[in-house]
Amino acid sequence: STVLSSSRGALIVLEGCDHSGKTTQCKKLVSALNEASIKAEFYRFPGKYIYINDLDSYHRGTRTTAIGEMISGYLGRQQDIEDHAVHLLFSANRWELKPKMLRSLEDGTNLIVDRYAYSGVAFTAAKEGFDIDWCKQPDIGLPQPDAVFYLHLNPEVAAKRATFGGERYEQTDFQSRVSKNFDNLQDSHWTIVDADKTVEELHEDLLERVKDVINNIGNKPIGKLWT
C-alpha cells in the first residue's frame, strides 16, 4: 500500500546535576516548539508537577502518582525509605508512565523529559555499596531516548546558583560522585552541552539541537534502553 505516515515524536531527555538548569530549559523548549506549531509535551522524573522555586512550596509540591508521592516524601526528608527500595520506586515511576509516553510518541508528539533513568543510576550509584551495573537493571528496556543533552556544569558553580542543600542529595561531595557516574553512562545518544551561560544563550543552543533531532526522526522504531 502507499499510505504515507507522518513521523513519530522524538524522545528527548535533558540530564545533569542539580541546578544545572534542566527544568527551566525543558519548559522553554516545550513553549518554543509549541509556538512553532510543533507538538511537544513536558515530562519530568520523578513525576512531580508543581515546581515553585521556593523551598517550602517546593517540598510540598505534589507528584503525579502514588509512587511519585512516596518519592516526594523521601526527597523532602519526611520519610525514610531503604536505599534499594527507593531506587526501585524511581524506576517504577518511569515504567508506570511508559504506556502514556509511547502513545504520545506514536501520535507524533515530541517529549521533552527532565531527567530519566540516567539520573536514577547516577544518584543511587553515588551511595555507599551500590554499583552502576546493579543500578541499571530495573530500567533496562524502557523507551530509548533519541537524544540525551547533558547540561554540564561544574558542581561548585551549581552549588552557588540557588538554595542548595535543602533536599536530599543536595551536597557538593555527593553531587561530584553523581557527576562522575554520569560520565560513565554516556553513550552514542549523548551530547554534552556547556550549561555555564545565560538562560537565553543555552536555550538558543538547545532549541537548534532539538529541532535537528525532531526533523530527522522519521519513523525509525523506538529503541529499548540498555539492550
Which residues contact ligand NYM (rule: CB under 6 A)? 18, 45-46, 75, 90, 115, 119-120, 123, 169
Question: Taking CB under 5 A as the rule, does residue 15 contact Mg ion?
Answer: no
Q: Please, what is the minimum distance in Å from the beta carbon of residue 37 to ligand NYM?
A: 29
The binder of Mg ion chosen from 15, 18, 139, 146 (CB under 5 A): 18
Report in angstroms the alpha-carbon separations of 216 from 102, 160, 204, 209: 18, 38, 19, 11
Report in angstroms the alpha-carbon separations of 166 from 5, 59, 95, 103, 192: 48, 9, 28, 36, 27
Residue number with CB closer to ligand NYM (32 or 55): 55
Residue number with CB closer to ligand NYM (107 or 131): 131
How many whole angstroms separate alpha carbon 78 and alpha carbon 120?
20
Residue 179 partner contact from ligand NYM, Mg ion, none using kind-dependent CB cut-offs of 5 to 8 Å: none
All cell numbers assigned to 180: 562522575
Residue 16 partner contact from Mg ion, ligand NYM, none using kind-dependent CB cut-offs of 5 to 8 Å: none
Count of residues touching Mg ion (by CB under 5 A): 1
Which residue in the shown chain puts its C-beta closest to Mg ion? 18
Residue number with CB closer to ligand NYM (36 or 50): 50
How many whole angstroms separate alpha carbon 46 and alpha carbon 69?
9
From the list 115, 132, 113, 148, the residue with the least C-alpha distance to 180 is 132
Handedness of CA 120, 126, 132, 135 (dihedral sign): negative
From the list 146, 119, 152, 115, the residue with the least C-alpha distance to 210 is 146
Residue number with CB closer to Mg ion (18 or 139): 18
Q: Please, what is the minimum distance in Å from the beta carbon of residue 22 to ligand NYM?
A: 7
Residue number with CB closer to Mg ion (161 or 180): 161
Residue 58 partner contact from ligand NYM, Mg ion, none using kind-dependent CB cut-offs of 5 to 8 Å: none
How many whole angstroms separate alpha carbon 13 and alpha carbon 99?
17
Residue number with CB closer to Mg ion (55 or 192): 55
Q: Please, what is the minimum distance in Å from the beta carbon of residue 172 to Mg ion?
A: 14
Residue 118 partner contact from Mg ion, ligand NYM, none using kind-dependent CB cut-offs of 5 to 8 Å: none
- Which residues lie near Mg ion (CB under 5 A)? 18
